[in-house]
Amino acid sequence: MPSAPMPSASMPSHFLSPEDQTFVARLLGQMTLAEKIGQMTQAEKNSVRPGDVARLGLGSVLSGGGGNPDLNTPASWRAMVSGLIDESLRSRLKIPLIYGSDAVHGHNNVVGATIFPHNIGLGAARDPDLVRRIGRATATEALATDVRWAFAPAVSVPQDVRWGRSYEGYSQDPGLVSELAVALIEGLRGDGQDSGPSVLPSVKHFVADAAAVWGTSRRIDRQALSTDRTLASADTGQGMAKLLDLGAWQIDQGDALIDEQTLRAVHLEPYRAATKAGALNIMASYSSWQGQKLHGHRYLLTDVLKGELGFQGFVVSDWEGVDQLGSDYGACVVQAINAGIDMVMVPFDYERFISALTQAVESGQVGLERIDDAVSRILGVKRSLGLFGQAHTDPALLEQVGSAEHRLLAREAVSRSLVLLKNDQALPLDPLGPPILVVGQAADDLGAQCGGWTVTWMGGHGPTTTGTTLLAGLRAVAGEAQVHFSPDGQTDDGQTDDSQADEGPPDRVYPVALVVLAEEPYAEGMGDRADLRLHPEQLELLERARQRCGRLVVLLLSGRPLIVSEQLPGWDALVAAWLPGSEGQGVADVLYGAQPFTGRLSYGWPASQGDLGRGADASLLFGIGDGLSVPLKAPVTG
């Protein structure tokens, strides 16, 4: 790789007025080395000791997935974040802290916030205006809690759907990814709207994280699982050994063994679009390109991103990403900062990072000009967000967290994201016809339909937050008497005739059975899976339902395409609902024909297990752009 010159310490200028540039330069000139390094430090809220934000002048604090206050309410969130901001204003120079959160499909750590569909569903909706409005609603709910930085959008272009982060990508089409990512950036910032303060988008993960090759991940040390603090925080409901057997941590954070032409043509394009749109924060990827970790990749971070693309904001590391560069922590810090990382996410040991970088500067391993460049970028972004003039947001915004308006928007997004892949005259359902049978526990599981990154890192089952399950949505549209529910496909809560009342499980045959199948909630490498075929339990559920209906409709709640080719001939309809979020009524609207099926695949759907990971050589059951439409029923209220 060609070596890169050190970036200039001059202030990036295009997003700041001359007055703001002068302000930043004057402030930088007043700062000690310790204060500068403090601004380059981002700590996780659970590790921050009282008084350290002011004492060390920390530039940022974040909540990781599940980094919530003890009482998880919007008001408690605001009190937590505002308290840390107030402490930053008691530092010598009173530089305001910027608080970050994984608001990747709504302000999803907060119980009661609106949870929008994950990106794979929004990719199927293919509507930049919809994504822009979602960005603004997400920003409003984040602003209500004083959070000014959202770690979104992910602009990955997933190549292998076995990857546990596939649902974070909008599409396998880099053009569509670019278009929707720019829309979310604009929505979070509030571009062109009388919308108040902006939230800083974080475009991630730079670069080609979605091109990693199966089997190249080195994230997991099988001998040190019990001492890994990050993994210990992942409540998956399954043992780590079982997850590893299923394929966890086989591709996430792996190595992209692609040439530079492919990297640029496919994976760099969304960053080019985001930079052109004025994005001011980019997060580096855990992954590697041709064996070299991106957190230490000076050519890509400095030459390409900051030089060629003209990126003017600051680059933040991922959670403990710097630690992965080697066994010598001090050397890792030197490599990362010299490569172009400006702020380091150090969730646990922030004083270790501060000490290591201080020693590196004092020994000459990291030049002061590199420190000044990084801090100028960070201060410039804070200035552009207005943090120096107004460190806090309006507490009246708390009324908008989970508001009826935002939930209506989420319901619209859900209805627009559904993709109808097969329909032999089974859909739409008739709300005035005979009752239907809904089969599968997932139909009444809010956590399953929200997926990962919901309240906790991995997400979970059951009423993890507030919202409407698919079952409740169906009953809201058609009426409770029209929707009978059987979690196991054997018994149901519908009424049977008196002759069957005392004869054990009812054997009633319904005109239509809707079977809801779901993946386990997961995030990141925890969701890497070697086998994407339906589980034996799901196949048994389908068989039981088949015996109780005339037509069988299957609805998948999943973060990626699943392998269904063998079963599909026995189904009368197939709907890909992805991970729709908190508003299950949006699914019901489309199933009952109150809204049309308009979603189209933004991913290729592999035909078989053997096609996974084969790229362009794979056979497809359905291609990008596929999706059916059906005539609407008469409007139904609900």
Q: Which helix (H) or strand (E) holds 551?
A: strand 549-557
- Residue 393, Cβ neighbours under 10 Å: how many? 23
Nearest C-alpha neighbor of 141 from the set 211, 96, 234, 75: 75
Helix axes 329-339, 368-384, angle to 10 degrees: 60
Task: Please answer whether residues 550 and 509 qualify as being in contact, where contact means their C-beta atoms are separated by less than 8 angstroms.
Answer: yes
Rounded to 5 degrees, what angle do the CA atoms 622, 627, 633 make?
Answer: 150
Helix (H, G, I), strand (E, B) or coil at 345: strand
Q: Are strands 281-284 and 203-206 parallel, antiparallel or unpaired?
A: parallel
Task: Please answer whether residues 183 and 190 qualify as being in contact, where contact means their C-beta atoms are separated by less than 8 angstroms.
Answer: no
Which residues are catalytic, by number? Answer: 318, 524
Helix (H, G, I), strand (E, B) or coil at 166: helix
- Enter the DSSP assignment of 303: I
- Residue 562, Cβ neighbours under 10 Å: how many? 20
Tokens of 632: 């609407």
Nearest C-alpha neighbor of 6 from the set 365, 271, 332: 365
> Is omega for the bond preceding 197 within 30 degrees of 0, making it cis?
no
Tokens of 271: 């960053």
Task: Please answer whether residues 463 and 72 qualify as being in contact, where contact means their C-beta atoms are separated by less than 8 angstroms.
Answer: no
Task: Please answer whether residues 113 and 141 qualify as being in contact, where contact means their C-beta atoms are separated by less than 8 angstroms.
Answer: yes
